[in-house]
Amino acid sequence: MRRALLGRALLAFLLSRALLFALVIAGSQIAFLQKVYSNSVWETRIDLRAGRIRPEVERIAMVGDAWFYRAIATEGYDASERVAFFPLFPMLVRLIGPTRDFTLDGILLSNAALALSLVLLGAIALHNGLTIDDAGRAMLYLAFFPTSYFLSLPVTESLFLALSLGTTLAALRGRWWAAGILGALTTATRFAGILLLPMLLVLLVERKEPRARALWLSLVPAGLLAFMWHLHSIRGDALAFVHVQKLWGRGTTPFFWQTLRDQATRVSEPWNFVALNILAAALLLAAGVHLIGKGEKAFGAYALLSAFLPLSSGSFQSMARYAAVTFPLFLWLAVRGRSTTWDRIILGASVALFGWLVAMLTLRIDFALA
């Protein structure tokens, strides 16, 4: 069983990353010359040169948040806008990166974390009573999720996913000390890691574990609290990572349906593929409700909270990125995929959107970056 699981994880990883890097390398052969037609359209040409591959791949990879993580790795939190980004990923790239090139080391770390994530997702599927075929589908759906190209870029997605899956698997196996430690690392990677805490508490109650085990879960917020302490020491504001969100047009609203009402009529805007992000939010909400209805309260609550947290900012921006690292979604989809028709729909739509968005990424289309 273990060999079959590893084989399916490797297959999902190789197929999806082969498509990703084939498209990125093909895109590296497009030379962007200048903007024409009132500075609105790029003038391009095909320029077949092997020497273009590495610099263009690095250019494509270093988009959006990657620049902030690179700056944190090299200069720390000197600039005020950097406080929005948590420290573990840039710290690891700086400490263990073999090449001392942030872009390459970040890509290597993210892809290693993705490969590990696929294995961990399959192991959780089997632990929860799903079949090896279900586990295989879950891994494929994750690997080809439309925004899963972020899982190979020098940003936090893959590391966060691997740590959250590791935390969950440790809890399912009764290793609460490991769940606490891995949970702390998760909250040092992204604020959303704190959502693991209610999920773990539900698991603890459902499994009727001794109450003393809950003490290990007090470690989970440690990564967040350490970052807050650091921000207080350098900025005098422990919540600076929250306050800086206004630079990205994010606020706070408890009524996520207002976000849906305000943006539902839009398809896309710069830095926000609204239609895809609304679909991702709908999938998370449907998965959460259905999982709770089927008795999977811990995973269902995690899916719902993973939707509510970004929606509370008043924007659907990046929702599809958040969905890509919310693992209960893929377990839920894997069960839906037992129907051949649904399997073809889910995988076909995922691969098509994945390929299209990667093409948009190479062509510098803004909404593919967020």
**Residue 38's pLDDT is what?**
64
Structure tokens at 219: 């470690």
**Residue 235's pLDDT is what?**
87
Structure tokens at 104: 């390459």
In the chain, what percentage of residues exceed pLDDT 70?
A: 89
**Residue 49's pLDDT is what?**
77
Residue 130 phi, psi (nearest 5): -80, 165
* Residue 260 DSSP SS3: helix
Rounded distance between C-alpha atoms, residue 139 and residue 90, angstroms: 26
**Residue 348's pLDDT is what?**
96
**Residue 266's pLDDT is what?**
65
**Residue 262's pLDDT is what?**
62
Buried b (16+ CB within 10 A) or exposed e, 304-327: bbbbbebbbbbbbbbbbbbbbbbb
* Residue 41 DSSP SS3: strand
Rounded distance between C-alpha atoms, residue 356 and residue 361, angstroms: 9
Low-confidence ranges of the chain (pLDDT < 50): none
Structure tokens at 150: 């972020």
Rounded distance between C-alpha atoms, residue 323 and residue 198, angstroms: 18
